[in-house]
Amino acid sequence: QISEAEVALFSVSSYACQRRTTLDNHNSNLTDALSLLAENAELNNEDGRGVAFRRAAALMKALPTQVISMSQLRGLPCLGEHSLRVIKDVLENGVSSEVESTKQSKRYKALKILTGIFGVGAKTADRWIREGIYNLEQLRHSGQTLNRAQKSGLEHYDDLNEPVTKAEADAIGEIVQKAVDSVLTGSQVALTGGFRRGKLTGHDVDFLITHPEEGKEVGLMPKVVAWLESRGFLLYQKTTRNSYLESKDGPARPASNMDRFERCFSIFKLTKGKEQESTQPEEQNDLKTKDVLRPHMQVDTDQQLCELSKNYQMEAASHKIWRAVRVDLVVSPISQFAFAVLGWTGSKLFERELRRWAGHEKNMSLSSHALFDNTQNKYLRATSEEEIFAYLGLEYIPPSERNA
Ligand code: 8DG
Ligand code: MN
Ligand code: MN
């Protein structure tokens, strides 16, 4: 037992946007457990529970050392009864029984697999599960109608569930920059999302595009998309138009936190690195089953056939000279650029906490477009993230410390 006097106590602010959260996590055993329960809650449309677990996980991420005893957690914010029970279980037994049973559950496994398809959310996955669909094989044979996004998601399932590296993000960044330069000179591209926070991998790549002259950016997205599409860089794209209405004395207040920028959800076709490309001639891309199914092989059972088919898929994948990568493109007018950069850099919880801080502590409304002061009844203009933090009365937190 550790005596109370030996235990280091932590002092941590209650809003994630008041804290510096780097990628250096001293309590990943605890945050992994809490994040899994958060994810499970979200997959079951229990948003309240999801946020509670996310806040608890974020708090543990912000601690400067490893927690070894429950007594260290006394007085800390964001830790509800349920989260404390999970933490206690992990500290005492190495694992949380609730996490273990969730991981094993048929429903959780199915929700993970099905929502792993781009274009499939928790609601669709739930409906499919109620119809007896638990995996991709069953989905393919179910006769369910899939929309364009889901078809593409299913087709590129393995690629899209493979983490994107920083090198791949940079390669895509160069393509996007080239596209943007070609359709409107002087346009700027900023890498946002997890990569801006210094993450080494991500589930997608996020870019924000603007032009230094206000108004020049209008209609830019369709041109960028057309440029990319004509050169075969896109496997899928869905562009949504700007729906953020401007009024005489400034931008209208957004009705919700969903932003209204010109935006494109896409799947890029990214050619693999040169070293891989040169060692794998193009013709090998057309690997046939016969290359794997050699004549001396005997296929007696379904299991053997399945094994061979898996080998074949792996062979084929290793010869493929390109991969699919999810890319989000957003166009912002320069007047909103600072808010857009802040809003698209994340993390999701950091963003949520910034908006909660603005509303609850400052009587202000923050979105990716603007900051409105409800007391003064006016918009607060900003050209940098630093200015926005200052308006909010928060110490500036750089992107690398927003990994809440
Ligand atoms: P990852 O891709 O590496 O997994 O992590 P990430 O980059 O942090 O997550 P993300 O899902 O790509 O989201 C990046 C940021 O974009 C995050 O702060 C949330 C924000 N974001 C969306 N959708 C929307 C939206 O519709 N409106 C606004 N304002 N922000 C959004 O993902
Ligand atoms: Mn991202
Ligand atoms: Mn994204």
**Angle CA 228–266–221, to nearest 5:** 55
In a shared domain, residues 184 and 51: no
In a shared domain, residues 131 and 112: yes
170 is catalytic: no
Give me the DSSP letters along 339-364.
Answer: HHHHHHH--HHHHHHHHHHHHHHHSE
Residue 254: what pLDDT?
47
Task: State the DSSP H helix or E strand holding residue 269, giving kind and residue range, or none if neither.
Answer: strand 262-271
The number of folded domains in the chain is: 3
In a shared domain, residues 99 and 110: no
Task: State the DSSP H helix or E strand holding residue 322, giving kind and residue range, or none if neither.
Answer: strand 322-331
φ and ψ of 30, to 5 deg:
-80, -40
- Write down the ipTM of this complex: 0.96
Q: Is residue 190 part of a domain?
A: yes
In a shared domain, residues 18 and 115: no
CA of 75 from ligand 1 middle (Å) equals: 32
Q: Which residues contact 255 (CB under 8 A, 6 or more apart)?
A: none
* Distance from C-alpha of 92 to C-alpha of 109, rounded to nearest angstrom: 26
**What pLDDT digit, counting tens, does each position of 124-148 carry?**
999 999 999 999 999 999 999 999 9
- Of the candidates 197, 195, 190, 163, the residue with the CA atom closest to the CA atom of residue 21: 197
Q: Is residue 16 part of a domain?
A: yes
From the candidates 206, 286, 291, 300, which is the catalytic residue?
206
Q: Is residue 282 part of a domain?
A: no
In a shared domain, residues 243 and 373: yes
From the candidates 204, 259, 302, 373, which is the catalytic residue?
204
Atom of ligand 1 at shortest range from CA of 346: 18
CA of 284 from ligand 3 middle (Å) equals: 33
Coil, helix or strand at residue 286? helix
Which residue segment(s) compose the domain that 37 sits in? 4-103
Coil, helix or strand at residue 256? coil
Assess whether the previous peptide bond of 230 is cis (omega < 30° from 0): no
Q: What is the CATH number of the domain that holds 186?
A: 3.30.460.10
In a shared domain, residues 136 and 184: no
Q: What is the CATH number of the domain that holds 112?
A: 1.10.150.20
CB 136 within 8 A of CB 157: yes
In a shared domain, residues 96 and 114: no
Helix axes 81-93, 28-43, angle to 10 degrees: 130
* Distance from C-alpha of 79 to C-alpha of 56, rounded to nearest angstrom: 5
Q: Is residue 55 part of a domain?
A: yes
Coil, helix or strand at residue 238? strand
Q: What is the CATH number of the domain that holds 96?
A: 1.10.150.110
Q: Is residue 315 part of a domain?
A: no
Q: Which residues contact 48 (CB under 8 A, 6 or more apart)?
A: none
In a shared domain, residues 357 and 253: yes
CB 27 within 8 A of CB 63: yes
The domain boundary residue, chosen from 92, 125, 155: 155
Q: Is residue 281 part of a domain?
A: no
Question: Taking CB atoms and a 6 Å cutoff, what residues make up the pocket around ligand 1?
Answer: 193-194, 199, 202-204, 206, 258-259, 343-344, 346-348, 351, 368
Atom of ligand 1 at shortest range from CA of 340: 29
In a shared domain, residues 65 and 188: no
* Distance from C-alpha of 375 to C-alpha of 364, rounded to nearest angstrom: 8
* Distance from C-alpha of 34 to C-alpha of 52, rounded to nearest angstrom: 9
What is the chain's pLDDT, residue by residue, as a tens digit (404 residues)?
555 555 668 989 999 999 999 999 999 999 999 999 999 999 999 999 999 999 999 999 999 999 999 999 999 999 999 999 999 999 999 999 999 999 999 999 999 999 999 999 999 999 999 999 999 999 999 999 999 999 999 999 999 999 999 999 999 999 999 999 999 999 999 999 999 999 999 999 999 999 999 999 999 999 999 999 999 999 999 999 876 554 434 454 544 445 688 999 999 999 998 544 444 444 444 444 444 444 455 666 777 777 777 787 777 777 889 999 999 999 999 999 999 999 999 999 999 999 999 999 999 999 999 999 999 999 999 999 999 999 999 999 999 999 99
- Residue 25 has, within 13 A of its CA and on its CB side, a CA count of 16
**What pLDDT digit, counting tens, does each position of 336-386 carry?**
999 999 999 999 999 999 999 999 999 999 999 999 999 999 999 999 999
> How does strand 205-210 pair with strand 322-331?
parallel
**What pLDDT digit, counting tens, does each position of 188-205 carry?**
999 999 999 999 999 999
* Distance from C-alpha of 386 to C-alpha of 42, rounded to nearest angstrom: 32
From the candidates 89, 181, 328, 373, which is the catalytic residue?
328
CB 271 within 8 A of CB 321: yes
State which residues have CB under 5 angstroms from ligand 3, the bound ion: 204, 206, 328
Task: State the DSSP H helix or E strand holding residue 91, giving kind and residue range, or none if neither.
Answer: helix 81-93
* Distance from C-alpha of 10 to C-alpha of 28, rounded to nearest angstrom: 17
In a shared domain, residues 262 and 364: yes
Could you tell which of 206, 268, 339, 403 is best to mutate to test the pocket of ligand 1, judged by most ligand atoms within 8 Å of the CB? Answer: 206
The domain boundary residue, chosen from 103, 123, 143: 103
In a shared domain, residues 243 and 370: yes
Residue 268: what pLDDT?
98
Name the amino acid, one letter, at 144.
Answer: Q
CA of 61 from ligand 2 middle (Å) equals: 19
Residue 297: what pLDDT?
57
In a shared domain, residues 230 and 340: yes
Residue 314: what pLDDT?
76
Residue 241: what pLDDT?
83
Residue 317: what pLDDT?
72
